[in-house]
Amino acid sequence: MSYKTIQDTIHGSVKFSGPFLKLIDSPEMQRLRGIKQLGLTNLVFPGANHTRLEHSIGAYYVAEKMANQLELCKEEKYLVKAASLLHDLGHAPFSHTLEFIIKDKTEKDHMDVTQELIKGDTKIEEREHPTIPEILEDEGISPEKVADLIKEKPKNMKITDLNVHDGQKYFGEEKYLYQMIHGSLDVDQLDYLLRDSHYTGAAHGVIDLERLIQTVEIHNGDLVISKRGVPAVEGMLVARGLMYSSVYFHKTARIAELMLTKTVDDLKKLPKNTYEMTDREFLSFLEMQGDFQKEIVRRIKYRRLYKKSLTLSEDELADAKNIDIKGFGDVQSIRKLENKISKSMNISKKDVLIDIPHEDLKLSEPRLSKTGIKIIDGKKIAGLSKYSPLARALQRRPTHQYAMMIACPQKYRESLKEEARRVIMGV
């Protein structure tokens, strides 16, 4: 069987053969070369220029190692390896940066689009290469089963509510394949923590991948960790929490993302080929849409970013008289408050940006609150919190340092700070 070896910065030599070699050569996968893994975070961490393709290769490598450790059958190995390689196909340009606003406009997130690409419901029209489902089916891999592993399932959904396919244990009682893609210890985050830490230069994301892989097991259909792996799991949870607070939710990177997001929200409609575009192509498109878009693209290009004007904690917002924080956080409520503040200041509504990180986090990283890793100790099974006070503490640790941030151009920074507080707090 012919194969190719890709030299990965994080994992070394990664071998591709059979259907996976064909998949990685597909237009859908190759587009990911032009999608930065961390969006605009390179404006804060200059080395963060790695791409979704690199991460997909890494997730595939980790999935293969974990599948071998668990001694999965060939069909299950192929399913989880395909899902790990293809899991980011549906990302729009700039990865998670635009997800909140695109979800509002289209009612689809990147996982929905990924499923469509895998099943053939959406495809790049002009092509000489076989489609994703054609490649999978030619190798006896069910596109539907791969797609079912991609989407995060609702918390109240039971495993018996999932689609049932003959011959696949996972869709009955056993959940380990799904947990390898969407669990507290899945292959996606095991790669991105190592990769993002390396490229940003932040030491927080270093984890003991080998130890985690060596201690993973299957028990009664669930993915579990043996007791001897608890320190490695604790290390991963600490790394995850620190990377989110210090890198992924860095205030300056968030402001750049908010600036870009608002230009997209200002569009009457998205381009039809959004999911065929790279970061560079999307910026070129935006630059031609109007004066506001052109200004923001140039500001991003030369790093002339808006500045933080005001931050408010959850406790402060709980006392706010002019907003109901319980029902606040969707795009419409954010824009309404931005407009109210700008009108009070007599400035353009485009000069006020409001960040509600918790809402973005629920969409872009729903697994962050998960510390429900099961530990097997002999014949006993218990939650990680029983063995780790640190895990309990991490559940209470906030990922971001504020509940709301307001940003604006430098010239309005001080005056907006007081006026925004007055408008929100009603004092």
Domain map (residue ranges) of the chain: 3-206
Q: CA of 242: how far to CAs of 207, 247, 358, in Å?
A: 12, 8, 16
- Residue 272: pLDDT above 50? yes
- Tell me whether strands 222-226 and 307-312 are parallel, antiparallel or unpaired: unpaired
| Residue 163 confidence class, pLDDT cut points 50, 70, 90 | very low
pLDDT band at 114 (very low <50, low <70, confident <90, very high): very high
d(CA 129, CA 220): 41
Distance CA 377, CA 251 (A): 42
Q: Computed from CA positions of residues 401, 403, 409, 411, in that sequence, does the dihedral angle turn out positive or negative?
A: negative
Q: What's the mean pLDDT in 136-144?
A: 95
CB neighbourhood size of 74 (10 A): 9
pLDDT digit string (tens) for 19-65? 999 999 999 999 999 999 999 999 999 999 999 999 999 999 999 99
pLDDT of amino acid 362: 57
Mean local confidence (pLDDT), 226-238: 93
Provide the 3-class DSSP secondary structure of residue 322: coil
Give the pair of three-digit tokens for residue 169: 């244990």
Note the Cα 376 to chain centre separation in Å.
29
The DSSP 8-state label assigned to residue 37 in this structure reads T
3-state class of 203 per DSSP? helix
Q: According to the model, what pLDDT value does residue 390 have? A: 84
Please give the average per-residue pLDDT across 180-195, as a whole number: 93
For the ranges 67-76, 149-158, 226-235, 314-323, the lowest mean pLDDT is seen at 149-158
Three-state DSSP at 16 gives strand
Q: Which CATH superfamily is domain 3-206 in?
A: Hypothetical protein af1432 (1.10.3210.10)
The single-letter DSSP state of residue 85 is: H
Tell whether the torsion through CA atoms of 240, 242, 245 and 246 is positive or negative. Answer: negative
Distance CA 192, CA 178 (A): 18
Q: What is the pLDDT of residue 144?
A: 96
Q: Which residue has better confidence, 320 or 226? A: 226
User: Which stretch of 232-236, 250-254, 334-338, 370-374 has the lowest confidence by average pLDDT?
Assistant: 370-374
- pLDDT band at residue 174 under the 50/70/90 scheme: low
Distance of alpha carbon 292 from the chain centroid:
28
